Amino acid sequence: MAKLAHAQWSSKMTFVLAAAGSAVGLGNIWRFSYMVGDSGGAAFVLVYLACVALVGLPILVAEWMIGRRGQKNPINTMAELAANHGKSPAWALVGISGVLAAFLILSFYSVIGGWSLNYTLSSVIGTFNGQDADSIGELFGGMLESPATLLLWHTAFMVLVVGIVARGVTKGLESAARLMMPALIVLMLVLVGYGVASGYFGEALAFMFRPDWSALTGGVVLAAMGQAFFTLSLGMGIMMAYGSYLGEDVNLISTARTVIILDTAIALLAGLAIFPIVFANGLSAGEGPGLIFVTLPLAFGNMAGGTILGLMFFLLLTFAALTSAISLLEPVVETLEERTSLSRIGSTLASGIAVWLLGVAALLSFNVWSEVLFFGLNIFDLLDTFTSKILLPLTGLGAIVFVGWCLKRESTEAELGLSATGVNVWNILARYVAPAGVIVVFVAGLI
Ligand code: TRP
């Protein structure tokens, strides 16, 4: 293969941390738990796990592979690889829709990142101490009803993201993930322990793992696949961009397995921490996007050492949200920087402001614009639904179809370092299983 066009990750570890830093975020804790609750539990969880393994893993590998082959940003990489393989320039659309998805996702992601910042502060000042479920619920409801509060925290979160991306210090943060991930896991284990002590752990376990298949509709299956894409940061080109910095010696499949296991473990732990609290307090699992904010503070407010644990938890959650948010802004900024005359700072500011504005529309849908509906969805839900259920799967489908059907066999062999049989198994996954999975789920979910 040609000499690498630009710098590489200093080590495989740095790469795993960067990829995990993007993957592990609000999606694992906030979004996973509320989707499980909304979709009726175990059936969703099991379909989600199947999607992660059968669709997520091959697409993650495919995105890294495309990135490492192409050595450019997602749009140029797709255009160039397509040209080299005598395919249509329209493949660049895969890169373009990825950048669009990043832009849309970050707008509502920042609103929730703001909630997390707000709850970090509330933990410090002991707001949750000794509160019961009703008062915790009122605190959350009060925040949602106040456009000014939501605006303040959304703005604070975006300023942090823009500040970090503008200064180009994202690499430094990624090594901080080395400390953050284990700390997050330990804290989740403490919370799971609290759930066990509450006596409602069995209920939570059954809710998450004993499926009632009658709850399984096309919509639930599509939601589960959307969650798999969202949580692994797939279908947006970010993993392609990371792949372009990846050394030849890194084994894509085993690295993907590591990232996926870490990501999935954190999500499942989050569920096992949150649902005992839901059942112990007679709360509703289908509470929606507020689920972690009306449950976890209850635990922190009523357990020994809860103030400090709560502070640590929301700080870590905010940090995880920031590393993911950075990975969402970065491709938008790079695209602007390359295609306009704007500088790095200018591109970061311009995209930050545009994302922030759309985020304002998203946060207003919790209060003054709650009646503004498109296809029956408020703006927040529309942004989330359109990206996770449509844009991400279609972009990911493009990536896997390209790798499965357009890349030469030699390229696949060189990239994966597999035996002939291994490549055949990979081809079955990449050509049939993963694409068919996406298409079937997609069609089932839309009809
Ligand atoms: N995966 C992140 C999370 O779980 C969110 C995220 C970051 C993302 N980059 C992405 C989602 C790209 C989709 C596409 O919180």
Mind giving me the DSSP string for 18-78?
HHHHHHSSHIIIIIHHHHHHHTTSHHHHHHHHHHIIIIIHHHHHHHHHHHHHH-S-HHHHH
Q: What is the pLDDT of residue 155?
A: 98
Q: Cα of 422 to ligand 1 centre, how many Å?
A: 29
Ligand 1 site, residue 264, Cβ cutoff 6 A = no
Q: Name the DSSP letter for residue 210.
A: S
In three-state secondary structure terms, 289 is coil
How large a percentage of the chain has pLDDT more than 70?
96
The verdict on the CB of residue 27 being under 6 Å from ligand 1 is yes
Does ligand 1 have an atom closer than 6 angstroms to the CB of 74?
no
Q: Is 295 in the pocket of ligand 1 (CB under 6 A)?
A: no
pLDDT band per the 50, 70, 90 thresholds, residue 1: very low
237 lines ligand 1 (CB under 6 A): no
Total-model pTM: 0.94
Q: Is the pLDDT assigned to residue 191 strictly greater than 90?
A: yes
Report the half-sphere exposure of 384 (CA within 13 A, side-chain side). 24
Name the residue with the closest Cα to ligand 1, atom 6. Answer: 233
Most confident by average pLDDT, 7-16, 357-366, 414-423: 357-366
User: Is the pLDDT confidence value at 23 over 60?
Assistant: yes
Both tokens of 327, joined, read 């990975």
Evaluate: CB of 328 within 6 angstroms of ligand 1: yes
Contact 281, 208 (CB under 8 A): no
| Confidence tier at 15 by pLDDT (50, 70, 90) | confident
pLDDT digits (tens, 9 = 90+) for 295-332: 999 999 999 899 999 999 999 999 999 999 999 998 88
> What's the pLDDT tens digit per position in 151-190?
999 999 999 999 999 887 666 666 677 788 889 999 999 9
- Which H or E element spans position 148? helix 147-166
Q: What is the mean pLDDT of residues 10-16?
A: 76
* Residue 209 Cα distances to 41, 215, 265, 397, angstroms: 7, 13, 14, 28
Q: How far is the CA of 130 from the centre of ligand 1 (A)?
A: 34
- Helix, strand, coil percentages, rounded to 5, for the chain: 80, 0, 20
* CA distance linking residue 181 with residue 69, whole number of Å: 30
Residue 357 has pLDDT above 90, yes or no: yes
Distance 325 CA to ligand 1 centre (A): 8
CA angle 221, 140, 102 (to 5 degrees): 45
What is the whole-number distance in angstroms between the Cα of residue 432 and the centre of ligand 1? 25
Q: Is the CB of 242 under 6 A from ligand 1?
A: no
